[in-house]
Amino acid sequence: MNELLVIFWILATIALAYLLIYPKFVGNNVRLMVWLDVPVTALPLGISALMYWESDPVFNFFFIEMNWFVYTLITMLILELPIFLWYLKARGLGAEYRRVAFGLGPKGSPDAGWASASAKSVEKQLNDTRWDGLRSIGAKRFLFWGSNIAILFGTGFLSTVGDNAWATYSLIHILLIFVFWFLLRQSVRLVADAPEEALDEMLLELRNRSYVFAYRWMTVLVFAGITALMVFTIVSDSTPESDGFNYLLTPTWPQIQAVFWLFAAYTWMLPSMAMIGMELRRSRKVGQR
């Protein structure tokens, strides 16, 4: 019965993705599709975690016993792969998807494989006025602080929540991350994620400066993480029962989610955050004159 339930919500997720989300909101934007593959795959895993994390029943996959995580992941791949390949073939996106997913940029575009926005989508955004409401100073200030508060609050909450119904906040946390990621990109017209050929000299310089700031803050985040790990080992060594060599870490599922989405969120958002931060700083200096 558990196996059938997992298959049911996997099929429901695939139907939602390929009948609504990809055709209506993604279309032929392969880069956005690559990014959305992460939450599409994570959703069935999150549901399985909510259902089976505590009970941890045994799942049978053609007479092979495995836990809920491995069973959900393998079943998701088997069920989605043929539909995924059919979708790419039907839209003629196979070559473009392979290029984007494996970082193979076109000739003359040294960073197109790293850029998460295509030149065509950036050109469209530079002339698009539909999202102008997100480009005012007030809106950018809200997006900058709101995204950071949402990420840090969710990380702290999931790091301390116990084994109870509040652990389902991880789903809201993931949703907020992708909402803010999308709004931040629209606010800066995808410039922070654009390849070189899509930008003029001024925008290219702005994009490159944003990556310098993003790199510095990511360095701070990574250093804080490894420092916390070192502090943990030192504190553990100071306890009488420590042997000075082995360390016992027993993270919960919400804590794993907290750490993963903290680094994932800032990896995706920091370039846009940095660009907005530089603009807010310029506007503040102008206001002080």
> Would residue 141 count as lying in a domain?
no
Cα 263 to its chain centre, rounded Å, is 9
Domains: count for the chain? 2
Sorted by sequence, the CB contacts under 8 Å of residue 181 that are 6+ apart come out as: 147, 265, 268, 269, 272
How many angstroms separate the CA atoms of 247 and 232, rounded? 9
31-84 confidence digits (pLDDT tens): 778 778 878 888 888 888 888 877 778 888 777 888 888 888 889 889 988 888
- 231 burial class (0-12, 13-18, 19+ CB within 10 angstroms)? exposed
Q: Are residues 93 and 20 in the same domain?
A: yes
The pLDDT of 126-136, averaged and rounded, is 85
What is residue 106's DSSP assignment? Answer: P
Domain boundary among 39, 74, 104: 104
Residues spanned by the domain of 235? 146-289
Q: Do 64 and 184 belong together in one domain?
A: no
The mean per-residue pLDDT over the stretch 154-170 comes to 86
Same domain (yes/no): 96, 234: no
| Across 15-24, 106-115, 266-275, least confident range | 106-115
In this structure, the answer to whether residues 162 and 253 fall within a common structural domain is yes
Judgement on whether residues 185 and 288 belong to the same structural domain of the protein: yes
- The rounded percent of the chain whose pLDDT value lies above 70 is 91
- Give a yes or no: residue 138 inside a domain: no
Q: Are residues 197 and 247 located together in one domain of the fold?
A: yes
Please tell me whether residues 94 and 194 are part of one structural domain. no
What pTM, to 2 d.p., does this model score? 0.66
* pLDDT at position 189 over 80: yes
Indicate the residue among 73, 88, 104 that finishes a domain. Answer: 104
Residue 123 inside a domain? The answer is no
Answer yes or no: do 74 and 178 share one domain. no
pLDDT above 60 for 102: no
Q: Which residue has the higher pLDDT, 105 or 57?
A: 57
pLDDT tens readout for residues 197-254: 778 888 889 889 999 999 999 999 999 999 998 998 888 888 877 777 777 778 888 8
CB atoms within 10 A of CB 277: 18
Query: Greater confidence, 181 or 115?
Result: 181
94 and 175 inside one domain: no
* Secondary structure of residue 288 in the 3-state scheme: helix
Residue 129 lies in a domain: no
Predicted confidence at residue 118, as pLDDT, reads 67
In a domain, 131, yes or no: no
- Percentages helix, strand, coil for the chain (3-state, rounded to 5) are 75, 0, 25
- 159 in the same domain as 71: no
